[in-house]
Amino acid sequence: MILQTDYQWNGAGNLVDYMRRDRAQDAGATVDLRNPAGRDLSDSEVDRFVNKSQEFGFQRHMIVSPDPTGHYSPEEVDTNTREIMNREFARQPTTDYVYTVHQNTEFPHAHIAATAEPAELELNRDEIQQLRERAATTFEEPARTKDPTATAHDAPENPGRIVDREAREQYHEAELSLKPDAEKALKRATEKNEQKEVGQSVADKERDETRTESLSERREETHEGEAEAERQQGQERERDERRMMGGDGEF
């Protein structure tokens, strides 16, 4: 489970624009934002949320990205994210949030924009870790990710490659900064890790070859040693036989 968060002392206008941009489509396409009840928001409702965030002068951005080995469907990410946030903000009277699920990567993940009186959304490191653990529990990690049969009924039959955690973390860090080219960070991190894996595979192969050569050399040395021992034993038998024959003649 990756749960990253950051906050800004300003309104959520730029964050909302970033969340609505559909990177899986053309530059002008958007995805729907939803409220805590899971209902799609109209443009006017989104504007009201942004205005509220400007009044508070504070907004928090969260990203919920479950382990892709669990093969979570976008619908599961949507439902579970809403459950996590509703539980988190249940006792915070001024807190309001909107969210959406991005499907432009091989791992569906959710973005949340929350606004409130700043004190309600202040989170220290321990509180963030506790929220991350609660999110993992909601997504049934790690049990779900360890059981390959426990996949969503509507998950793709062939989910493709699994993007490793380091690459996803770098991608989400770029998203927290609202970088429009966050996908480039993901691509660079993925390529770097793939090169690392290739290098590791080559190194493993070289070690195996070296180990095989060493074993072959040891076998040859063993065979040579055995042959030498047999030769010496043969020479000793010949000497013994000659001595015995010589002794018989004298007797």
DSSP conformation letters of 92-143: -TT-EEEEEEE-SSSS-EEEEEEES-HHHH---HHHHHHHHHHHHHHTTTTH
pLDDT confidence of residue 111: 98
> What are the φ and ψ backbone dihedral angles of 112, each rounded to 5 degrees?
-125, 135
pLDDT confidence of residue 237: 74
pLDDT confidence of residue 199: 61
Structure tokens at 48: 């009201």
- How big is the CA angle at 29 (ends 49 and 101), to the nearest 5 degrees? 60
pLDDT confidence of residue 249: 44
pLDDT confidence of residue 156: 46
pLDDT confidence of residue 246: 62
Q: Spell out the residues 6+ positions from residue 38 whose beta carbon is closer than 8 angstroms to its own.
A: 78, 79, 82
> What are the φ and ψ backbone dihedral angles of 6, each rounded to 5 degrees?
-150, 165
Is the sign of the CA dihedral 182, 188, 191, 196 positive or negative?
A: negative
* Number of CB atoms found within 10 A of residue 102's CB: 21
pLDDT in tens, 220-251: 666 666 777 777 777 777 777 666 666 544 43
Q: Which residues of the chain have pLDDT under 70?
A: 23-29, 147-161, 193-194, 196-225, 241-251
Q: What is the DSSP letter of 158?
A: S
In this structure, the chain runs to a length of 251
pLDDT in tens, 88-123: 999 999 999 999 999 988 899 999 999 999 999 999
pLDDT confidence of residue 43: 95
pLDDT confidence of residue 162: 72
Q: What does pTM read for this prediction?
A: 0.73
- Partners of residue 21 on adjacent β-strands: 30
Average pLDDT, the chain: 83
What residue type is 146 in one-letter code? K
pLDDT confidence of residue 82: 98
pLDDT confidence of residue 21: 87
